[in-house]
Protein backbone atom coordinates (compact mmCIF):
# COMPACT_ATOMS: atom_id res chain seq x y z
CA UNK A 1 0.00 0.00 0.00
CA UNK A 2 2.29 2.75 -1.29
CA UNK A 3 0.76 6.21 -1.20
CA UNK A 4 2.18 8.76 -3.61
CA UNK A 5 3.43 12.14 -2.41
CA UNK A 6 0.77 13.75 -4.62
CA UNK A 7 -2.02 11.81 -2.92
CA UNK A 8 -0.66 12.72 0.53
CA UNK A 9 -0.44 16.41 -0.43
CA UNK A 10 -3.97 16.42 -1.91
CA UNK A 11 -5.41 14.63 1.12
CA UNK A 12 -3.72 17.03 3.54
CA UNK A 13 -5.01 19.99 1.51
CA UNK A 14 -8.48 18.49 1.69
CA UNK A 15 -8.15 17.99 5.44
CA UNK A 16 -7.01 21.60 5.90
CA UNK A 17 -10.06 22.77 3.92
CA UNK A 18 -12.34 20.67 6.15
CA UNK A 19 -10.64 22.13 9.22
CA UNK A 20 -11.71 25.53 7.87
CA UNK A 21 -15.26 24.21 7.30
CA UNK A 22 -14.98 24.21 3.51
CA UNK A 23 -16.84 21.17 2.14
CA UNK A 24 -15.13 21.54 -1.26
CA UNK A 25 -12.11 19.98 0.48
CA UNK A 26 -13.82 16.62 -0.19
CA UNK A 27 -12.82 17.00 -3.86
CA UNK A 28 -9.16 16.60 -2.88
CA UNK A 29 -9.59 13.03 -1.62
CA UNK A 30 -9.40 9.86 -3.71
CA UNK A 31 -12.75 8.25 -2.89
CA UNK A 32 -12.12 5.10 -4.95
CA UNK A 33 -11.48 1.64 -3.51
CA UNK A 34 -7.76 2.26 -4.04
CA UNK A 35 -8.07 5.57 -2.18
CA UNK A 36 -9.86 3.72 0.63
CA UNK A 37 -6.94 1.35 1.16
CA UNK A 38 -4.39 4.13 0.68
CA UNK A 39 -6.10 6.21 3.38
CA UNK A 40 -4.88 3.70 5.96
CA UNK A 41 -1.38 4.78 4.92
CA UNK A 42 -2.15 8.00 6.78
CA UNK A 43 -1.09 6.11 9.89
CA UNK A 44 2.52 6.58 8.76
CA UNK A 45 2.08 10.36 8.67
CA UNK A 46 1.26 10.44 12.33
CA UNK A 47 4.17 8.28 13.46
CA UNK A 48 5.63 11.31 15.29
CA UNK A 49 2.41 11.32 17.35
CA UNK A 50 3.03 7.65 18.19
CA UNK A 51 6.58 8.46 19.35
CA UNK A 52 5.24 11.32 21.48
CA UNK A 53 2.57 9.01 22.92
CA UNK A 54 5.21 6.44 23.79
CA UNK A 55 7.44 9.10 25.36
CA UNK A 56 4.45 10.38 27.36
CA UNK A 57 3.69 6.87 28.66
CA UNK A 58 7.33 6.51 29.70
CA UNK A 59 7.11 9.94 31.39
CA UNK A 60 3.86 9.01 33.15
CA UNK A 61 5.39 5.77 34.44
CA UNK A 62 8.68 7.43 35.47
CA UNK A 63 10.61 5.47 32.84
CA UNK A 64 11.75 8.38 30.69
CA UNK A 65 15.48 8.71 31.36
CA UNK A 66 17.95 11.10 29.71
CA UNK A 67 19.84 9.36 26.93
CA UNK A 68 17.57 6.29 27.04
CA UNK A 69 15.86 5.12 23.86
CA UNK A 70 12.17 5.84 23.53
CA UNK A 71 11.66 3.09 20.96
CA UNK A 72 12.77 -0.33 22.11
CA UNK A 73 11.57 -3.91 22.00
CA UNK A 74 9.55 -3.71 25.21
CA UNK A 75 6.06 -4.53 26.39
CA UNK A 76 5.31 -0.81 26.67
CA UNK A 77 6.25 -0.16 23.02
CA UNK A 78 4.05 -3.08 21.93
CA UNK A 79 1.07 -1.91 24.00
CA UNK A 80 1.29 1.73 22.88
CA UNK A 81 1.79 0.62 19.27
CA UNK A 82 -1.27 -1.63 19.44
CA UNK A 83 -3.30 1.26 20.88
CA UNK A 84 -2.07 3.54 18.12
CA UNK A 85 -3.17 1.11 15.40
CA UNK A 86 -6.47 0.45 17.19
CA UNK A 87 -7.22 4.19 17.17
CA UNK A 88 -7.20 4.05 13.35
CA UNK A 89 -9.26 0.86 13.07
CA UNK A 90 -11.91 1.17 15.80
CA UNK A 91 -14.18 3.79 14.24
CA UNK A 92 -14.11 2.37 10.68
CA UNK A 93 -14.97 -1.06 12.12
CA UNK A 94 -17.85 0.32 14.22
CA UNK A 95 -19.20 2.37 11.33
CA UNK A 96 -19.70 -0.67 9.10
CA UNK A 97 -22.76 -1.65 11.12
CA UNK A 98 -23.90 1.87 12.04
CA UNK A 99 -23.93 3.22 8.48
CA UNK A 100 -25.82 0.17 7.21
CA UNK A 101 -28.48 0.70 9.89
CA UNK A 102 -28.72 4.39 8.98
CA UNK A 103 -29.09 3.51 5.28
CA UNK A 104 -25.78 5.23 4.53
CA UNK A 105 -23.73 2.18 3.51
CA UNK A 106 -22.86 3.85 0.21
CA UNK A 107 -21.10 6.65 2.12
CA UNK A 108 -18.81 4.26 4.03
CA UNK A 109 -15.80 4.50 1.69
CA UNK A 110 -15.79 8.32 1.49
CA UNK A 111 -16.24 8.54 5.25
CA UNK A 112 -13.29 6.23 6.00
CA UNK A 113 -11.05 7.96 3.45
CA UNK A 114 -11.74 11.39 4.93
CA UNK A 115 -11.69 10.32 8.58
CA UNK A 116 -8.38 8.44 8.23
CA UNK A 117 -6.61 11.50 6.83
CA UNK A 118 -8.34 13.75 9.37
CA UNK A 119 -7.32 11.41 12.19
CA UNK A 120 -3.66 11.57 11.14
CA UNK A 121 -3.82 15.36 11.40
CA UNK A 122 -5.83 15.18 14.64
CA UNK A 123 -3.34 12.84 16.34
CA UNK A 124 -0.49 15.14 15.35
CA UNK A 125 -2.28 18.22 16.73
CA UNK A 126 -3.21 16.52 19.99
CA UNK A 127 0.34 15.21 20.50
CA UNK A 128 1.88 18.71 20.64
CA UNK A 129 0.91 19.45 24.28
CA UNK A 130 2.26 16.05 25.41
CA UNK A 131 5.51 16.72 23.54
CA UNK A 132 5.85 20.11 25.26
CA UNK A 133 5.31 18.45 28.64
CA UNK A 134 7.77 15.63 28.03
CA UNK A 135 10.59 17.92 26.86
CA UNK A 136 9.99 20.29 29.76
CA UNK A 137 8.65 23.28 27.84
CA UNK A 138 5.27 23.14 29.58
CA UNK A 139 4.17 22.46 33.13
CA UNK A 140 1.46 19.81 33.64
CA UNK A 141 -1.15 22.58 34.11
CA UNK A 142 -0.07 24.42 30.98
CA UNK A 143 0.04 21.16 28.99
CA UNK A 144 -3.54 20.45 30.14
CA UNK A 145 -4.64 23.89 28.93
CA UNK A 146 -2.93 23.29 25.57
CA UNK A 147 -4.57 19.85 25.37
CA UNK A 148 -8.02 21.39 25.84
CA UNK A 149 -7.31 23.95 23.09
CA UNK A 150 -5.97 21.23 20.76
CA UNK A 151 -9.00 19.09 21.60
CA UNK A 152 -11.37 21.84 20.48
CA UNK A 153 -9.56 22.06 17.13
CA UNK A 154 -9.61 18.27 16.73
CA UNK A 155 -13.31 17.97 17.61
CA UNK A 156 -14.19 20.68 15.13
CA UNK A 157 -12.19 18.94 12.40
CA UNK A 158 -13.68 15.50 13.08
CA UNK A 159 -17.22 16.89 13.36
CA UNK A 160 -17.07 18.75 10.06
CA UNK A 161 -15.23 15.91 8.28
CA UNK A 162 -17.96 13.52 9.43
CA UNK A 163 -20.79 15.87 8.50
CA UNK A 164 -19.37 16.62 5.05
CA UNK A 165 -18.28 13.09 4.11
CA UNK A 166 -21.56 11.47 5.18
CA UNK A 167 -23.83 14.35 4.17
CA UNK A 168 -25.66 14.17 7.51
CA UNK A 169 -26.96 16.70 10.02
CA UNK A 170 -24.70 18.36 12.54
CA UNK A 171 -26.39 16.47 15.37
CA UNK A 172 -25.80 13.04 13.84
CA UNK A 173 -22.19 14.02 13.02
CA UNK A 174 -21.75 15.06 16.66
CA UNK A 175 -23.07 11.67 17.79
CA UNK A 176 -20.56 9.88 15.59
CA UNK A 177 -17.74 12.06 16.95
CA UNK A 178 -18.86 11.19 20.50
CA UNK A 179 -18.67 7.51 19.49
CA UNK A 180 -15.16 8.08 18.13
CA UNK A 181 -14.11 9.79 21.37
CA UNK A 182 -15.62 7.00 23.45
CA UNK A 183 -13.73 4.38 21.46
CA UNK A 184 -10.48 6.31 21.81
CA UNK A 185 -10.99 6.81 25.57
CA UNK A 186 -11.54 3.05 25.92
CA UNK A 187 -8.41 2.37 23.86
CA UNK A 188 -6.36 4.84 25.92
CA UNK A 189 -7.67 3.34 29.16
CA UNK A 190 -6.76 -0.15 28.00
CA UNK A 191 -3.27 1.03 27.01
CA UNK A 192 -2.79 2.70 30.40
CA UNK A 193 -4.00 -0.40 32.25
CA UNK A 194 -1.78 -2.76 30.25
CA UNK A 195 1.21 -0.40 30.46
CA UNK A 196 1.11 -0.43 34.24
Residue 17 neighbours by CB under 8 Å, 6+ apart: 24, 25, 28
Residues of the chain predicted below pLDDT 50: none
DSSP 4: P
DSSP characters over 140-189: HHHHHHHHHHHHHHHHHHHHHHHHHHHT--HHHHHHHHHHHHHHHHHHHH
Q: Which domain holds residue 37?
A: 5-195
Per-residue pLDDT tens over the stretch 77-117: 999 999 999 999 999 999 999 999 999 999 999 999 999 99
Q: How many domains does the chain have?
A: 1
Total-model pTM: 0.92
Amino acid sequence: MIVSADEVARSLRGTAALLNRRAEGLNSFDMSEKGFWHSFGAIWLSLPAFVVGLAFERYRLGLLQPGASILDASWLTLVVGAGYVASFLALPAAMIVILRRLGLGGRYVPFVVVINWALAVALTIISVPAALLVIGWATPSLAMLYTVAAGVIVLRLLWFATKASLGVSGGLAAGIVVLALTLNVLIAGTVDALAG
